[in-house]
Amino acid sequence: MESDLNKTLEALLLSTAEPITLKTLGEVFARHHREAAEAAEEEESDALPMAVKPAQIRDALVALTEAAEAEDKAYRIVEGPNGFQIMTAPAYSDYVRLLRKEPRPRKVSPAALETLSIVAYRQPVTRAEIEAIRGVSADSALNRLIEHELVQVTGRAELPGRPIQYGTSDQFLEFTGLRELDQLPASDVLSNHQIDDWMRAGEDPAPEPSDSDVGLAEDPHPDELPLNQEYAEIEWQKENAESDAAETVVEPTGEEQ
């Protein structure tokens, strides 16, 4: 039964160039089971194939995917955002391209890859946010990514001027071999919280450096005088008080005269 299921799934994937969802595969097996049951009823036969459950289909697809990798077959089974699909192994892609008379694939520049990373982790993101993070203009890189259909317009931000927001496309998931964005590797550098903190810190003025920051001794606070200075201040006040008392002259009253 397992061997027949694997071969059937392989045949279904080979029959179309479009991805097939797990739901569609389950519907195909369910219709086949109903037709087989109707035929058996008409022929009064007890030969009825067992129904195939979605979990069995999923397990069989995983087994086929691992077998294609382990046996280094000329194809790979890839699960993308739109379902499962048989694709040519990377080692033979040039031959297929020449057969189809297609041009060489265009490479993505490092600047475009940096921009694509920011869009992928930060989306939805505006052009100004991308430029604030990269520190350079993002016009050329964004236009190239949109041309490659890796980035698309997702809407407008609720900010003054309603700037355009950008996000990744389904083509991006196929390009990276991901099924969904949650499969992106964790990034401490490009996490949303850290980027927000970094951008807010850039907007706030930097505090002036203190004496200790530049290696100088800090000036003492008036209320925090060293012990010897505090005593010196007390003695100085005492001397002033004694001097004032000595200079005081007591004038005689009229009765004493």
User: Amino acid identity of 142?
Assistant: L
Domain 110-203 top-level CATH class: mainly alpha
Whole-angstrom distance, CA of residue 195 vs CA of residue 189: 8
Whole-angstrom distance, CA of residue 200 vs CA of residue 93: 46
Helix axes 110-122, 127-134, angle to 10 degrees: 120
Whole-angstrom distance, CA of residue 74 vs CA of residue 10: 13
The average pLDDT across 168-183 equals 84
Using an 8 Å Cβ cutoff, are 10 and 64 in contact? Answer: yes
- What predicted TM-score, i.e. pTM, was given to this entire model? 0.56
Q: What radius of gyration, in Å, describes the C-alpha atoms of the chain? A: 39
- Name the burial class of residue 75, with classes exposed (0-12), middle (13-18) and buried (19+) by CB atoms within 10 angstroms of its CB: middle
The percentage of residues in the chain with a pLDDT greater than 90, rounded to a whole number, is: 33
Q: In the chain, what are the domain boundaries?
A: 2-99, 110-203
Q: What is the pLDDT of residue 218?
A: 64
H helices of the chain, where? 2-14, 22-42, 54-70, 93-99, 110-122, 127-134, 139-147, 170-176, 192-203, 227-246
The average pLDDT across 209-235 equals 57
Q: Which two tokens stand for residue 95?
A: 């031959």
The average pLDDT across 119-132 equals 90
Kindly indicate the confidence band of residue 257, based on its pLDDT and cuts at 50, 70 and 90: very low
Is 110-203 the same fold as 2-99?
A: yes
Kindly indicate the confidence band of residue 105, based on its pLDDT and cuts at 50, 70 and 90: confident
Which helix (H) or strand (E) segment is 156 a member of? strand 151-156
Whole-angstrom distance, CA of residue 145 vs CA of residue 155: 17
Q: Vertex 93, ends 91 and 94: CA angle to 5°?
A: 100
pLDDT in tens, 16-71: 989 999 999 999 999 988 888 888 777 776 666 678 888 999 999 999 999 999 99
| 20: DSSP letter | B
Confirm or reject CATH 3.30.2130.30 for domain 2-99, answering yes or no: no
Whole-angstrom distance, CA of residue 60 vs CA of residue 2: 8
Cis amide prior to 207 (ω within 30 degrees): no
Q: What is the pLDDT of residue 39?
A: 81
Residue 155: what are its φ and ψ, rounded to 5°? 155, -160
Q: What is the pLDDT of residue 226?
A: 53
Whole-angstrom distance, CA of residue 63 vs CA of residue 199: 46
Q: In angstroms, what CA-CA distances link 233 with 213, 217, 245?
A: 30, 22, 19
Helix axes 139-147, 127-134, angle to 10 degrees: 120
Q: What is the pLDDT of residue 173?
A: 87
pLDDT in tens, 183-207: 888 765 555 555 556 555 655 555 6
